Amino acid sequence: MSTEPLEIDTLEGEFSTLNLGPTHPATHGIFQNILTMNGERIYHSEQTVGYIHRAFEKIAEHRPFNQITPLTDRLNYCSSPINNLGWHMTVEKLIGCTVPKRVDYMRVIIMELARIADHLVCNTVIAVDTGALTGFTYMFQEREKIYELYEEVCGARLTTNIGRIGGFERDFSPAFHQKLKKFLAEFPKKFQEFCDLTERNRVFMDRVINACPFDAERCLNYGFTGPNLRAAGVDYDVRVMNPYSSYQDFDFIIPVGISGDTYDRYIVRQKEIWESVKIINQAYNNLPEGDYHADVPEFYLPPKDDVYNNMEALIYHFKIVMGEMDVPKGEVYHSVEGGNGELGYYLVSDGGRKPFRLHFRRPCFIYYQAYPEMIKGCLLSDAVVTLSSLNVIAGELDA
């Protein structure tokens, strides 16, 4: 059972140094923590990140706009559709394109499925770190069903490159409708089993309640967003504060915690999965009729039979594939609610076919710097379970 952290200044005795990482099975990612410990208690820690720095921002200055979508996939790869669709929305904001309502609802369905997938990974891994492997094995089956839904839309499982600037490349197929109906009918029961396994389980609760609490004021100062901030009691959700993609049409609550400890972060994510199921049900039952893409011929590929028969379509096709689309000059910032919080895209365009500057506001990078303060004075086992509850994805951390 985790106890109150001791006052650091009263600790005496010998200190030992423990190197946790960079490749450690308990960290679920590649980042190094060098801990100075007194017995089991952590006195001080130092982080080293950058072990998978792939220079995304520099690559983005050398690629046309639709070649940046596969790059955004690899930011938070557990919920890549959210990254892709956020990027498409940023470009649409820059060029001043409004998409039809049907596209908005289709995007909401895909983004909420991605959020469920991301939260499932995080929560099952918290359970694994406390020793409960069953949840991991059963819930990854549900992730396979979500992967099948992605495959119906875009053909890929993990790094999806889903959608296009202006909408989607094709409408939802009949197989997608059938699989989604089946998923919505069966998932709640299976997820309820996972909830019953852990949420009111005495052993699990003793392990994670009071493990590294972090209050709301410090969270805000450190730039926390997403479930980690909501666990501390601040109900900030980009979907509600700056709605995008017709989120204002849907009825859902924002679950918040009280003390910002690991149990609160866990429960907030569990409740968000239930809210996502609610949103998908609303979006699917009210899916409006209409086009599945906007009318932006400079950015959206024309249908193939037009390309072979129509000169204008042929020229547009050539220009889009060769990356010769012209965009207006300007700077735009757009943010979406990713799996870990506010994922922002700051795009500066100088009128050319590649961005002049693209900066990703990566939530993992910003809140991971609070980790040393969170674990000061805690036991090592609390520190490990706190790290999994923060859901630090190495791809988003280093970019």
Partner 1 sequence: MTNQEVLDHVRTKFADQILEFDEPYGMLTIIINRDALLPMVEFIKTDEVLQCNFMTDLCGMHHPDQLGRELGMVYMFHGMRKNIRIRIKCFMPIDDPHIDSITSLFKAANWMERETFDFYGIKFKGHPDLRRILNMDDMDYHPMLKQYKLEDGTRTDKDDRFFGRDGHDGVEFDQRYIK
Partner 2 sequence: MVKTVNAPDGFEGPGFFATGVDKIIGLARANSLWPLPFATSCCGIEFMATMGSNYDLARFGMERMSFSPRQADVLLVAGTIAKKLGPVLKQVYDQMAEPRWVIAIGACASSGGIFDTYSVLQGIDKVIPVDVYVPGCPPRPEQIIDGIIKLQELVKHESGNRRNSNEYKALKDSYQIS
Q: Determine which residue in the list 6, 34, 59, 240 makes contact with partner 2, applying CB under 8 A.
A: 59
**Residue (101 or 353) nearer to partner 1, CB:** 353
Site for partner 2 in 135-194 (CB under 8 A): 136-137, 140-141, 143-144, 147, 157-159
Site for partner 2 in 221-260 (CB under 8 A): none
Q: Determine which residue in the list 9, 12, 58, 202 makes contact with partner 1, applying CB under 8 A.
A: 58
Tell me: does residue 52 bind partner 2 (CB under 8 A): yes
Please say whether the dihedral angle defined by the alpha carbons of residues 310, 312, 315 and 316, taken in this order, is positive or negative: negative
Distance in angstroms (rounded) separating the CA atoms of residues 65 and 67: 5
Q: Determine which residue in the list 55, 133, 203, 321 makes contact with partner 1, applying CB under 8 A.
A: 55
Q: Determine which residue in the list 4, 13, 25, 221 makes contact with partner 2, applying CB under 8 A.
A: 25
Q: Determine which residue in the list 161, 212, 361, 394 makes contact with partner 1, applying CB under 8 A.
A: 361
Site for partner 2 in 104-133 (CB under 8 A): 121
Q: Which stretch binds partner 1 (CB under 8 A): 9-17, 57-65, 142-150, 197-205?
A: 57-65
**Residue (93 or 376) nearer to partner 1, CB:** 93
Q: In the bound complex, what is the minimum distance in angstroms from residue 8's beta carbon to partner 2?
A: 30
Tokens of 141: 């089956």
User: HEC string of the chain?
Assistant: CCCCCCCHHHCCCCCEEEEECCECCCCCCECEEEEEEECCEEEEEEEECCCCCCCHHHHHCCCCHHHCHHHHHCCCHHHHHHHHHHHHHHHHHHHCCCCCHHHHHHHHHHHHHHHHHHHHHHHHHHHHHCCCCHHHHHHHHHHHHHHHHHHHHHCCCCCCCCCECCECCCCCCHHHHHHHHHHHHHHHHHHHHHHHHHCCCHHHHHHHCCCCCCCHHHHHHCCCCCHHHHCCCCCCCHHHHCCCCCHHHCCCCCCCCCCCCHHHHHHHHHHHHHHHHHHHHHHHHCCCCCCCECCCCCCCCCCHHHHHHCHHHHHHHHHHHCCCCCCCCEEEEEEEEECCEEEEEEEEECCCCCCCEEEEECHHHHHHCCHHHHHCCCEHHHHHHHHHHHCCCHHHHHC
Q: Which stretch binds partner 2 (CB under 8 A): 73-81, 300-308, 335-343, 363-371?
A: 73-81
**Residue (50 or 243) nearer to partner 2, CB:** 50
Site string for partner 1, 223-252 (x = CB under 8 A): x----------x-x----xx----------
Q: In the bound complex, what is the minimum distance in angstroms from residue 93's beta carbon to partner 1?
A: 6
Tell me: does residue 333 bind partner 2 (CB under 8 A): no
**Residue (159 or 201) nearer to partner 2, CB:** 159
Per CB under 8 A, residues contacting partner 1 are 49-50, 53, 55, 57-59, 61-62, 93-94, 218, 220-223, 234, 236, 241-242, 330-333, 335, 342, 344, 346, 348, 352-354, 357, 359, 361, 365-366, 368-370, 398-399
Per CB under 8 A, residues contacting partner 2 are 22-25, 30, 50-55, 58-59, 70-71, 73-74, 77-78, 121, 136-137, 140-141, 143-144, 147, 157-159, 394-395, 398
